[in-house]
Amino acid sequence: MREQLEKIKLEALEEIKEATNSQRIDEIRVKYLGKKGSLTTILRGMGSLSPEERPIIGKFANEVREFIEEEIKKALLNIKNKERELKIKGEYIDITMPGKKVEIGGIHPLNKVLDEIKDIFFGMGFSIAEGPEVELDYYNFEALNVPKNHPARDEQDTFYISENLVLRTQTSPIQVRTMEKTKPPIRIIAPGRVYRSDAVDATHSPIFYQIEGLVVDKGITMANLKGTLETFAKRFFGEKTRTKFRPHHFPFTEPSAEMDVSCFVCGGEGCRVCKGSGWIEILGCGMVHPDVLRKGGIDPDEYSGFAFGMGLDRIVMIKYGIDDIRLLYENDIRFLKQF
């Protein structure tokens, strides 16, 4: 029996040494120390031994058991360490490897110029107003003195969602909504996306951007309009810029005008940018029509105001010398990278 135990001890040691993973160690544990394991079987057979032999063999069997348990413990620790080492090796980061370049996006030229324009008007005490792109026919047309069948609707033919709902053709509806819910003084700019059912070409897009402005208070005159818009022109195009107001007509302002700025490229001499005239048309403006004030809930006998509107796309194209509006909407990275 003693020899049998010696044999088990050596066999177990051999197998433990060869094991390379913890699962194999578990199998060995079961094989020798489990309920049906070889050591357990021997211990069960101790009954057949003489009373003198029994304590000696019993003691030895226990030593063998402790020995095997100890070896298993050591082997497990060893295997765990090796496994951890292997895992760490797999996670090793070579900090000398060249990094991956992170492509940083840029700001679209439309937004770049919009930010500049906003800053100029913020500096004069204006704040931003916004409104829905799907707008009631009432706010887009009726409240601005453009009733159904008015010829101005032809120029601003838009996409109808239903009889009374349109895609806004200008951002003026924002300003009517502002007049309805706020008391003067009002000093806002209303930037946003607008729509017209135009065919696409180098200068037309069915989707484009507008910035309108509205000032309403007691005693507002054409002088306030001129001062504000001249200041804007000088800040945006340069301090040397001169302005010119030409009479015009809009249904929602009276009197109305268009503002030209002296060409920021040639200074007024005439060049390719101003098409030889020395002047560039940049916006429309006027004193808010009394009927429009009234529709906004403001008494025209107490208050007056001025308003203006400009096409953001056009301003961006003038500023950067872009000759095709489609470039602003195609998202061609070769174009966008230049800003």
Q: Which residues bind ligand 2NL (CB under 6 A)?
A: 172, 175-176, 210, 212, 214, 250, 252-253, 284-286, 288, 292, 307-311
CB of 105 to ligand 2NL, least distance (A): 29
> Can you spell out the DSSP letters for 162-189?
ETTEEE-SSSHHHHHHHHHHSPSPEEEE
Least separation, in Å, of the C-beta of 244 and ligand 2NL? 15
Strands 243-250 and 134-136: what pairing? unpaired
- Please, which residues bridge with residue 191 across strands? 211
Measured between alpha carbons, how far is 266 from 270 in angstroms, rounded to an integer? 6
Q: Which is nearer to ligand 2NL, 5 or 176 (CB)?
A: 176
Beta bridge partners of 319: none
| CA 73 to chain CA mean position, Å | 56
Place of tokens 């030209």: 260
Least distance in angstroms from the C-beta of 228 to ligand 2NL:
13
Nearer to ligand 2NL, 25 or 259 (CB): 259
Burial grade of 218 (CB within 10 A; 0-12, 13-18, 19 or more): exposed
Nearest to 238 by CA among 319, 155, 328, 124: 319
CA atoms within 13 A on the CB side of 321: 8
CA 273, 279, 284, 285 dihedral sign is positive
> Given the complex with ligand 2NL, which of 214 and 316 has the nearer CB atom?
214
Do you find a cis peptide bond into 255, omega within 30 degrees of 0? yes
Is 254 annotated as a binding-site member? yes
Among all residues, whose Cβ is closest to ligand 2NL? 309
Between 19 and 220, whose beta carbon lies closer to ligand 2NL? 220
Q: Give whichever of 75 and 283 is closer to ligand 2NL, judged by the CB atom.
A: 283
Q: Nearest distance from residue 273's CB to ligand 2NL, in Å?
A: 19
| Closest CB 288 distance from ligand 2NL, rounded Å | 5
- Which residue has 């032809």 as its token pair? 154
Closest contact distance (angstroms) between CB of 269 and ligand 2NL is: 26
What single letter denotes the amino acid at residue 78? N
Cβ nearer to ligand 2NL, comparing 191 with 286: 286
CB atoms within 10 A of CB 233: 22
The CA-atom distances, in angstroms, between 337 and each of 76, 104, 205, 309, 332 are 60, 11, 22, 29, 9
Which CB, 55 or 297, lies closer to ligand 2NL?
A: 297
Residues 6+ apart with CB under 8 A from 270: 263, 276, 277, 278
Question: Whole-number minimum distance, CB 151 to ligand 2NL, in Å?
Answer: 16
Q: Which is nearer to ligand 2NL, 5 or 292 (CB)?
A: 292
Shortest Cβ 143–ligand 2NL spacing (Å):
8
CA 328 to chain centre: 18
Please state the residue numbers annotated as binding site: 254
Residues making up the binding site for Mg(2+):
254
